Amino acid sequence: MKAKVTFLLLFALGLNLAVGQQDPECMANLSLFHESVKIKEYDKAYEPWMATRNKCPKLNNAIYIDGEKILKHKIKNSSGAEKTAHVNDLLKLYDESLTHMGKKFKKGTTLAKKAQVKYENKLGTNYDVYQEFDNAYKTDAASFRNPRRLYFYFETLYKSYKGNEGGATIEQLFDKYEDLKEKFAGETKKLSLSLDRILKKEEAGQPLTKKDQKTKKRAETNGKAFSLFETNMDKLIETEAKCEVLIPMYTKNFDANKSNGTWLKRAAGRMVAKECTADPLFVQIVEAYHALEPSAESAYYLGVLSLDKKDYANAKKYFDESAQLHTDAYKKASVYMKIAQMEKRRGAKSSARSFANKAIAQRPSYGSAYLLIASLYASSANDCGSDVFEKKAVYWAAAKMANRAGQVDPSAKSRAAKSAASYNAKAPSKTDIFNKGAAGKTIQIGCWINTSVKVPNI
């Protein structure tokens, strides 16, 4: 009867038991440690957890999920030999989770967690830990997607290269950087697509389900994390990724890789990013890439070549061709944004807004596109409006776009808030509004902007 009651309690807690492992003592201990973990009484949970782990390792995945929390608490609150023992036990627990419940735990995630524990506790050289991360990535890259661990993966290789450990080379460093940049882009794209779907529901006036709300919150949180750690990775490579380093390296490796589409694509991309496109090597790389794999990417790089020559008509043509060839909405949006930036530099403001809006149509959560439109509006404050008040009112239109950027894109929130504050500071003051008698009225902004703004009430 006691075993039956315990089983019902475990079921109520959401703990599904493995067939053949329903030992009464283990079931009772499972209930005890799980309830203790829920209220963060980790020391109290330790003994029944260890008893369950040792006797019934296949009973429930809570042994490994809760066990991770228990051991992390122990590590945080211990030192010396005791801490080392808990660290080693956590590493052992990760192995046990794959051995006893491999279907419940992803290999890439679990192996990457092990590597992070070794990194944070200085177990082995940087190159040793890099190889642990590398094994996790090569074993199961799909589930290795935690942004902090992806950053540690690169950082350990970077430190190995700088410290002359393990024979790490500059070529290896750049290859891994490009690989992880693509990984970050892919994971960020998934988050953006989730946000785009929810934004469309909100704009259509449809209520969000609890699942939608959780998805939105998770996408916003993870989006910030990916943006932060990708930026940190970029900062590490910044000191190495200079034209005087890239050009000799790519020149040395060009002949061996001129039939390697991935190498050509990455080399061209890095030279564009670091503005090394004036070197004749860039032309060689782009032409070889276009001859090997005519594609959206090669059309894009032909656009870059035209842009370098200030041949804006051909640059726009190639970039537009690249956007049309892309079947991926996220990449299509990026190319449209490139055209918008080019048009902005040329002073073609209406065209720049048009392409920024095309980018937004493909990727509704593209905060940078809204910020570009905001800057276009702000730059026209002296040109649009029949009097000083109306000209300054253009800044409200700019602030509105900046605020929209922060609403749709978590990674742009900080920039958006600063921009909106700057634009609002330049808009008509309360005194201006009072003297104009315009509080609460809607003002039509003409010229190329052709929009309206509502004057704040005072």
d(CA 59, CA 7): 12
Q: Which residues contact 322 (CB under 8 A, 6 or more apart)?
A: 296, 297, 299, 300, 303, 335
List, for residues 110-165, the tens digit of each pLDDT value. Answer: 999 999 999 999 999 999 999 999 999 999 999 999 999 999 999 999 999 999 99
The pLDDT-based confidence of 17 (bands split at 50, 70, 90) is low
Give pLDDT, residue 193: 87
In the prediction, which pLDDT does 194 show? 87
Split at pLDDT 50, 70, 90, the class of 20 is very low
**pLDDT at position 77:** 96
User: Does 3 score more than 70 pLDDT?
Assistant: no
Query: Assign residue 20 a region: left if phi > 0, alpha if psi is -120 to 50, beta otherwise?
Result: left
Residue 68 tokens read as 């991770």
Tell me the average pLDDT across 444-457.
92
Q: Give pLDDT tens digits for 286-304.
A: 999 988 988 898 999 999 9
pTM: 0.67
* Most trustworthy range by pLDDT among 122-136, 203-217, 255-269: 122-136
Beta carbons within 10 angstroms of residue 215's beta carbon: 17
8 A C-beta contact, residue 30 and residue 59 = yes
